[in-house]
């Protein structure tokens, strides 16, 4: 007698509550692709609940599938309106505004946020978000008006107070920015962005006493901050004796500054009319080098690698060195054979007779005394006539015991005669210099010096 095979037990689908919990857990873990896949699978067997649609819409936004996200969240909003759940309806509308914003559909985001702000007059989040979208959409006056009203409504809200200061900076209303940012620091003395912007606002007002006072107050609050310490020394450099001036920016200062700006560095340079790539082309043309890929080249202070593509045609080996690990991460795909995170003088000293060309664009502006770096570069170059090309900011002072000056920007500028004498003393000859604009700063052109020098066979004089 044949035995009857037991029926295969059908796998039970989780109930709606379990499914929603699973979706929420996935979203909280950042597994947005898994959320969307689970929702697509679930739809084959029936419609999603409102909460599942909401989570799905948020996940689609995170995956930059904006049209699908907006369609899903709109559908969820219609369903929830019918069910009269005000709290969830507000949450869905808020996430819908975020989808519009992420998709750069600013008008629709503003429409949703205006409605949410009006419907929830005691909720500061919607006021903040509306101000943000208005500013991002270019409606600066409207954003300022909204922010001023909101600050009166919530005078102790640090985020709003900072938004107002930031908007006043964007409007170049420097006095008003100082007032707003000072309020931020009363509410939150540790607000680093407000302190940084306050220093900038005082600079734009040409209020040097205000700059110095802001930096002193900041350093008192944060005594281990290498950036503030260096900028305060730069601000007070006119009153310091030559021997009291730092001979160069500290490693900590350079590293922290450029790590902070690594993500946005290239974009910021574009806004400053950064001239280094054009200047490097001109300097290489002056050298008469052939783009035959035959040279061992060092990009000294390579940053995000903006010079890599220009140097690559001349290089059999192209090395970039920089003190900022954050900057080097951005340089990874720009043609370098190797990237080294190191202090420049130490690196040069550790690699004698290795490079046939050293290029250093807007790096030696963080050195005052150039003797150590020029001597190290001479030792690291291979063969008589090997070129060193670099840029500096120009200092127009004549005479004096120091050939360099620490500017309020935290960078150094140099006298032509000092640079030439230093290069000669360190064993360079065939020295030439041209003046050019390096970039703009605060709307003004920064005058620079483009130097070309060749390694000489003569012995290097180490003194002086």
The confidence band for 402, taking pLDDT boundaries of 50, 70 and 90, is: confident
The confidence band for 1, taking pLDDT boundaries of 50, 70 and 90, is: very low
Element (H, E) at 444: strand 444-455
Give the pLDDT score at 457. 67
The confidence band for 8, taking pLDDT boundaries of 50, 70 and 90, is: low
Element (H, E) at 262: none
Chain Cα centroid distance, residue 274: 15
The residue whose two tokens read 């873990």 is 29
Would you say the pTM of this structure is higher than 0.85? Answer: no
DSSP 146-181: HHHHHHHHSTT-HHHHHHHHHHHHHTT-HHHHHHHH
The C-alpha atoms of residue 331 and residue 348 are separated, in whole angstroms, by 20
- Per the DSSP assignment, residues forming a β-bridge with 390 are 360, 451
Give the pLDDT score at 238. 66
- Look up residue 162 and give its two tokens: 């900072």
Give the pLDDT score at 421. 96
Chain Cα centroid distance, residue 210: 26
Contacts 24+ apart (CB under 8 A), 249-254: 249/366, 249/367, 249/410, 249/411, 249/412, 250/226, 251/323, 251/343, 252/226, 253/226, 253/227, 253/229, 253/410, 254/323, 254/324, 254/366
Residue pLDDT, tens place only, 105-151: 999 999 999 999 999 999 999 999 999 999 999 999 999 999 999 99
Residue pLDDT, tens place only, 172-220: 999 999 999 999 999 999 999 999 999 999 989 989 899 999 999 999 9
Residue pLDDT, tens place only, 323-368: 999 999 999 888 999 999 999 999 999 999 999 999 999 999 999 9
Report whether pLDDT(4) > 70.
no
Report whether pLDDT(463) > 50.
no
Report whether pLDDT(387) > 90.
yes
Q: Is 327 in a helix, a strand, or coil?
A: helix
Please name the residue ranges forming H helices in 351-444: 371-380, 416-425
Residue pLDDT, tens place only, 38-59: 999 998 888 999 999 999 999 9
């Amino acid at each position: 007698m044949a035995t009857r095979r037991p029926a295969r037990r059908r796998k039970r689908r989780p109930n709606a509550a379990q499914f929603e919990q699973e979706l929420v857990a996935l979203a909280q873990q950042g597994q947005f692709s898994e959320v969307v896949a689970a929702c697509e699978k679930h739809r084959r067997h029936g419609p999603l609940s409102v909460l599942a649609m909401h989570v799905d819409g948020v996940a689609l936004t995170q995956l930059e599938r904006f049209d699908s996200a907006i369609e899903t969240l709109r559908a969820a909003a219609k369903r929830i309106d019918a069910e009269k759940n005000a709290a969830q309806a507000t949450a869905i509308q808020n996430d819908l505004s975020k989808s519009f914003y992420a998709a750069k559909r600013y008008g629709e985001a503003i429409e949703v946020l205006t409605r949410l702000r009006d419907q929830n007059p005691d909720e500061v989040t919607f006021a903040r978000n509306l101000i943000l979208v208005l500013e991002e959409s270019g409606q600066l006056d409207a954003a300022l008006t909204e922010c001023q009203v909101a600050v009166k409504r919530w005078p102790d809200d640090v985020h709003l107070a900072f938004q107002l200061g930031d908007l006043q900076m964007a409007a170049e209303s420097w006095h008003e920015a100082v007032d707003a940012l000072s309020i931020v620091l009363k509410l939150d003395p540790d607000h680093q962005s407000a302190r940084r912007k306050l220093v900038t606002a005082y600079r734009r007002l040409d209020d040097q006493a205000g700059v110095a006072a802001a930096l002193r107050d900041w350093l008192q609050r944060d005594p281990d901050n290498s950036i503030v310490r260096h900028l305060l020394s730069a601000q007070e450099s006119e009153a310091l004796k030559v021997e009291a001036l730092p001979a160069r920016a500290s490693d900590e200062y350079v590293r922290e500054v450029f790590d902070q700006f690594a993500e946005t560095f290239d974009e910021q340079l574009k806004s400053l009319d950064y001239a280094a790539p054009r200047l490097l082309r001109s300097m290489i043309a002056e050298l008469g080098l052939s783009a035959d890929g035959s040279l061992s080249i060092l990009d000294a202070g390579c940053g995000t690698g903006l010079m890599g593509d220009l140097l690559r045609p001349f290089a059999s080996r192209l090395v970039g060195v920089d003190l900022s690990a954050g900057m080097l991460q951005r340089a990874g795909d720009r043609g370098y054979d190797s990237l080294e995170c190191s202090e420049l003088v130490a690196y040069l000293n550790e690699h004698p007779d290795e490079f046939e060309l050293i290029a250093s664009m807007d790096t030696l502006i963080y050195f005052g005394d150039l003797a150590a770096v020029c001597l190290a570069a001479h030792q690291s170059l291979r063969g008589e006539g090997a070129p060193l090309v670099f840029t500096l900011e120009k200092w127009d002072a004549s005479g004096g015991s120091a050939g360099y000056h620490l500017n309020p920007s935290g960078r150094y500028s140099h006298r032509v005669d000092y640079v030439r004498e230093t290069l000669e003393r360190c064993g360079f000859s065939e020295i030439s210099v041209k003046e050019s604009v390096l970039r703009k700063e605060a709307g003004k052109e920064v005058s620079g010096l483009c130097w070309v020098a060749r390694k000489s066979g003569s012995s290097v004089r180490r003194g002086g």
